[in-house]
Structure 1
């Protein structure tokens, strides 16, 4: 186990274009990072998440969005100073019943340009929630962003997520965004190896599910308590609010740190086979039953390209988009780092996002999509990324007609609320 990210959330200020207050807080977080390391807990990243733009977004000359490139240059400098690793800038809450505003359209259309120009920028757009419903205009605009980011470098889509029902101040990227006037700290962990260890020591052939669940609860309570004992006094001393820890055991693309490996250690099936829904649901329920404050997703994650075993099973044709959607009903995250063909009609992606959104709203759970169209490649071909956190895999097929036209649908439906 290690800490994947200490994420600080705070508002960027119009009257402080150099963001001196953020810089001061990032310097303080170096102390927290050192405190963790002194207790034997590795910290991978310090990250920053800004406030989202809303339908009331102001593009006057003094707003942070009108001066977005000036602020982005400052944020990149903070990365260069090694005060943080990556940041979430210009996330948007577009889950609204009304049409998108002209200002929202302007910002959405600028996202691909900004992500290409500022290499450490991540962002997300919330297009649906149980509070407001699904905004189909936002889904259409996000599909344009996904397809534009795929050229010339499909890797850029790792920095963009389409989200549903994601609450503020979750620590995982790209979905993080900040709400509130205080400065908030949240923690994301990389702990798939912990689940593997628990299941190796508690085989389903030698014990029962109740005992396995109890072992997971006990270990993750210990992890939380140790983290809390370090971060809580720091926050009190330095004026931060500790929001909590996301209990999702994020994987790393090696077999021994794979959440897919953990699922298979349960002993019922290989990932993608019959029994996967039960296994994913069991692990998610066990994590969500830990008797400690939880934030964010706090469940099973299935990031295809970030997980060794899930990627392997995809190569063996045990995984497809329909199965990943099915598992999204049980898991905590959704369609994450999923490679798809480059030559898709945009409506195919839009309908896939609608499917995911319907699951999220019907089940009242946070879900996200990081879809990665792979330039000049078709379903069944291999990706060829060279990135520490990816393992290459086959491009997934989307079983849908490329001749679908949603023009009349959009004309009659800008949004839908249950």
Structure 2
């Protein structure tokens, strides 16, 4: 759940971006251990107040735990559902979000996992989880890939409009400490990180630039001048609460009035999906990777189709395909993110897409994920409409 959005444009007197999330990482002794969650919520409320008082709009507060179910047996996973539902109710009451990270070992063989995942998604509101399909110490996991695809199909069937897949993803080489959901999870001492919604800053920086080099220089200057004060403030918050400061995920997460598609078009001068889109994405990523602030998580370009009106419109115009999104992922951040697919897409076809994401992530040694949004009752080429205020209508794309 995010805060209500107002019209958004960079303001020279303000930060010019929103804080999409303040994410606190903590460890639970068991799924029923509520004390760390309560402490994390108190810390988040204090941090939210400090940042709000400083003029920042904080959209969400979030908690990431260690992946305590990743190595659990199927019995332990089943027994944890009631406790997870209770944790979900606790964070919903406080208008917060919770991620438990990977819930199945990469080589785990649990035929009951898809049904378990569907039940958890159906009976919770603000809880996210993943399957790890690749990690830096191993190649892609065929079992993990298969389990993730089967879980996505089960979740789409079990939740109204398939909305449960908004809170589930296949994660490839995603490190602990990433503040963005659904892939966030925690490792180590208690910590804090932040993630941004900042596409309007990019569009403003590119306006009037005559060359790609000038656009990159302008973007670097704008981001470093705006993020430096935020970093100093969050470091103070971390010290006060005795939490490790993990950094800022500088990925410019988009929203309905903060389009990353529009920012890329401001840079390239052509509709997203046209020739030069890949070069534009690469240029933005170069800047994000070079900033002189402590970064964490993806810190790359996000292209979530259903969360961005320009991306959704260009997809509906047929200007790019799922394969081209995967191509852009080679120079971007998140992989395939909230991509609308036919509701009857079989699990093995989803697994094939996830396997491509895992292979790309492993080859390039970069974090990627697949959050594939099956739209029940819709076929490729049909328009999908959503009641969710943060999802935008879009033509369903071919799962190929």
Using structure 2 for the length normalisation, give the TM-score: 0.90
2:312–2:392 Cα contact (<8 Å) kept: yes
Deviations 1:227-262 (A, max 9, x none): 1221112211221111011010111123xx100000
1:188 aligns with 2:195: yes
CA distance in 2, matches of 1:135, 1:185: 30
1:199 aligns to what? 206
1:222 aligns to what? 225
Gaps of 5+ in 2: 1-16
2:345 aligns to what? 344
Once the 2 structures are TM-superposed, how far is the Cα of residue 58 of structure 1 from its aligned partner?
5.9
CA distance in 2, matches of 1:272, 1:80: 38
1:122 aligns with 2:128: yes
Alignment equivalent of 1:89, drawn from 57, 76, 100: 100
Alignment equivalent of 2:238, drawn from 219, 235, 240: 235
CA distance in 2, matches of 1:163, 1:370: 9
Please show how residues 188-337 of structure 1 align to structure 2 within 5 Å: 188-200=195-207, 202-204=208-210, 208-254=211-257, 257-337=258-338
2:119 aligns to what? 113
1:148 aligns with 2:163: no
2:19 aligns to what SS in structure 1? strand
Q: Which has the larger radius of gyration?
A: 1
CA distance in 2, matches of 1:354, 1:285: 26
Once the 2 structures are TM-superposed, how far is the Cα of residue 187 of structure 1 from its aligned partner?
0.3
2:25–2:190 Cα contact (<8 Å) kept: yes
1:179 aligns to what SS in structure 2? coil
Once the 2 structures are TM-superposed, how far is the Cα of residue 266 of structure 1 from its aligned partner?
0.9
1:7–1:47 Cα contact (<8 Å) kept: yes
2:59 aligns to what? 44
2:187 aligns to what SS in structure 1? coil
CA distance in 2, matches of 1:8, 1:333: 21
| Aligned Cα root-mean-square deviation (Å) | 2.0
Deviations 1:3-54 (A, max 9, x none): 100011111123x835123202311221111110111001111101111147
2:78–2:116 Cα contact (<8 Å) kept: no
CA distance in 2, matches of 1:58, 1:183: 26
Once the 2 structures are TM-superposed, how far is the Cα of residue 306 of structure 1 from its aligned partner?
0.5
Once the 2 structures are TM-superposed, how far is the Cα of residue 283 of structure 1 from its aligned partner?
0.8
Gaps of 5+ in 1: 400-418
User: Residues 23, 321 of structure 1: CA spacing in aligned structure 2 closer, same or farther, 3 A cutoff?
Assistant: same
1:381 aligns with 2:382: yes
1:151 aligns to what SS in structure 2? helix
Using structure 1 for the length normalisation, give the TM-score: 0.86
Alignment equivalent of 1:179, drawn from 178, 183, 187: 187
User: Residues 50, 271 of structure 1: CA spacing in aligned structure 2 closer, same or farther, 3 A cutoff?
Assistant: same
1:11–1:178 Cα contact (<8 Å) kept: yes
2:26–2:36 Cα contact (<8 Å) kept: no
1:11 aligns with 2:27: yes
1:159 aligns with 2:167: yes
CA distance in 1, matches of 2:114, 2:326: 26
1:198–1:216 Cα contact (<8 Å) kept: yes
Q: How many residues align?
A: 382
Once the 2 structures are TM-superposed, how far is the Cα of residue 372 of structure 1 from its aligned partner?
1.1
Moved more, 68-77 or 328-337: 68-77
Once the 2 structures are TM-superposed, how far is the Cα of residue 93 of structure 1 from its aligned partner?
6.0
Once the 2 structures are TM-superposed, how far is the Cα of residue 370 of structure 1 from its aligned partner?
0.7
